[in-house]
Amino acid sequence: MVSDVRITPSILNADFSQLNSEVAKISQVADLLHLDVMDNVFVPNFTFDFEAASKIVKESALPVDAHLMVADVDKIAVQYAEIGCASVTIHAEATRNIGQTLKNIRAAGSRASLGIKPGTEIDAYEEYVDQLDMFLIMTVEPGFGGQKFMENMMSKVKRTRQIIGDRPIWLQVDGGVSMSTIEFALEAGADTFVVGSAVFNDPDPAAMVQKLRKHAHEYLGY
Ligand code: DX5
Ligand code: ZN
């Protein structure tokens, strides 16, 4: 059962030329800052190299939830943990050694998280459950903000919730989450919500974060 919800705004749709002021808009109300790192290899888009990402992590008023959409992620994932990210997500499709990398992320002091793309099934990764602090189920093909929420991923979210059982592991969904889709993910058992365009395209990003949280709490009967 979901006991609390986290809203983790993604800055992918924020104005990169003034990131600090964009982050400041939501830093009083969001739980973590979701940082989408893309390398133009694992996904057909590029956002930040390690140096630029490190600067954001260092300056962020919020703990950072790094979502690494990069090929051959094992070595760099540990570096993201070492610079102080609160959580580091590696993609199952991009790692050569899941178990060891998850262990290294935790050893460097971050929460260890495993993400899967829409075409990847969850069952093959059940064996790593005790090495994880979060699962990320993509609800769009990774690469771009502003895409449509894939409701047909909800059976995978439900299955992941079953795998988690009563462990205190977060279950995050990413892609297309908004006031009109968050309920599907809540119903399926997600408790951690990446929201990009719905927050940063809103005239009042902080109010939108609060509206999403309130809506989720009401849905859960708080
Ligand atoms: C997509 C990214 C997402 C994206 C979410 O590859 O991982 O975090 O920014 O943006 P929205 O909420 O607009 O789908
Ligand atoms: Zn993301």
- Retrieve residue 196's tokens: 């990009």
Residue with the nearest Cα to atom 12 of ligand 1? 196
pLDDT of amino acid 3 = 65
Instruction: Please write the tens of the pLDDT for every residue from 20-77.
Output: 999 999 999 999 999 999 999 999 999 999 999 999 999 999 999 999 999 999 999 9
Distance 115 CA to ligand 2 centre (A): 9
Q: Which domains does the chain have, with CATH numbers?
A: 6-220 (3.20.20.70)
Give pTM, 2 decimals.
0.98
Instruction: Please write the tens of the pLDDT for every residue from 147-187.
Output: 999 999 999 999 999 999 999 999 999 999 999 999 999 99
Residues in the chain: 222
pLDDT of amino acid 222 = 83
CA gap 136, 157 in Å, rounded: 9
- Atom index in ligand 1 nearest the CA of residue 146 equals 13
Name the band, by pLDDT with cuts 50, 70 and 90, for residue 7: very high
Ligand nearest to C-alpha 139: 1
Instruction: Please write the tens of the pLDDT for every residue from 121-136.
Output: 999 999 999 999 999 9
**pLDDT > 90? residue 1:** no
Q: Which residues line ligand 1 (CB under 6 A)?
A: 10, 12-13, 34, 36, 67, 140, 142-143, 145-147, 174-177, 194-198
Of the candidates 207, 47, 172, 70, the one whose C-alpha atom is nearest the C-alpha of residue 55 is 47
Residue type, 2: V
pLDDT of amino acid 13 = 86
pLDDT of amino acid 2 = 64
pLDDT of amino acid 220 = 92
More confident residue, 103 or 3: 103
- Atom index in ligand 1 nearest the CA of residue 12 equals 9
Residue with the nearest Cα to atom 9 of ligand 1? 145
Distance 222 CA to ligand 2 centre (A): 27
- Atom index in ligand 1 nearest the CA of residue 11 equals 9
The helix (H) or strand (E) run that includes residue 30 is none
Distance 115 CA to ligand 1 centre (A): 13
Let me know: does 209 contact 29? Beta carbons within 8 Å.
Answer: yes
